[in-house]
Amino acid sequence: MAVEGLEQARKLMADARKLCVLTGAGISAESGVPTFRGPEGLWRTFRPEELATPEAFARDPRLVWEWYEWRRGVIRGCRPNAGHEALARLALSGGKEVRILTQNVDGLHEEAARAVAGGRDPSPALPLELHGSIFRVRCTRCPYRSTHREPLDTSSTDLLPRCPRCRSLLRPDVVWFGEPLDDEVLQEAYDLARHADLCLVVGTSALVHPAASLPLATVRGGGAILEVNTTETPLTPLAAVSLRGNAAVWLPLLQGGET
């Protein structure tokens, strides 16, 4: 099945003129970033459904920042893997229109884009970040927003980062459960998915909406789904091909079919 799946998958990739890629935590697993629902997943040890919410932050901003700073520390030590790099090469090859939509907040797609582009313009490989970035902060009160990569001391509430403009608490610039995604980002994502002839879905459990419904927009627009995942997901039955296994192994094989 795997080999025959690969040949069919390569044909889908070769025929695609407009490719929309949707990635989830699974593409970063090989880099050492914990997934959400895997055996060692974040949801197991950190009750994130109680932490990745505006209510949790209102109730105990120090605890939420402690969890995010722990994740930021883990991710600072992680590098993009062969899966991120294969997608960046695909997007920069110019052979077809490729747009990467990611649910991840770890910044590894952007790091891979800049590394693969070298001195060239990395923008075709820069992802649309559906859920924001763990290395960006925004004010809980005014429009202030900025990149923020340095380690934070979360040992007490009065050490938490504050807005340089209005002194209110800063929060991670990510989309929490119960919060809407940025309108323009979501509209752009739907447009890309709707007009794609292939949606390559990599390393997502396809449980979180509205991101998980983007591949369905491709199918409704007459396109197909190609899935890469170590397990079955709710999208598997809708996929023309579902390659079972590690994104860091399969994506270079798929990209390799591109001359």
Q: Which residues are catalytic?
A: 131
DSSP string, 185-249: HHHHHHHHHHH-SEEEEES--S-STTGGGHHHHHHHTT-EEEEEESS--TTGGG-SEEEES-HHH
* Residue 94 burial (C-beta neighbours within 10 Å; 0-12, 13-18, 19+): exposed
State phi, psi for 95 to the nearest 5 degrees: -65, -30
What is the total count of residues that contact Zn ion (CB under 5 A)?
8
Q: Among ligand BV8, Zn ion, none, what binds residue 142 when CB lies within 5 to 8 Å by partner kind?
A: Zn ion
137 makes contact with Zn ion (CB under 5 A): no
Q: Restricting to residues 158-187, name those near Zn ion by CB under 5 A.
A: 163, 165-166, 168
Task: Report if residue 37 touches ligand BV8, rule: CB under 6 A.
Answer: yes
Instruction: Convert residues 104-143 into a mask of x (bound to ligand BV8 by CB under 6 A) and - (unbound).
Output: -x-------------------------x------------
Question: Per CB under 6 A, does 203 bind ligand BV8?
Answer: yes
CB 7, min distance to ligand BV8, A = 20
Alpha carbons 201 and 194: distance in angstroms, whole number = 14
Encode burial over 19-29: b for 16+ CB neighbours within 10 A, e otherwise. bbbbbbbbbbb
Applying CB under 6 A, does 80 fall inside the site for ligand BV8?
no
Binding residues for ligand BV8, rule: CB under 6 A, are 24-26, 29-30, 35-38, 41, 52, 103, 105, 131, 174-180, 203-205, 207-209, 228-231, 233, 246-247
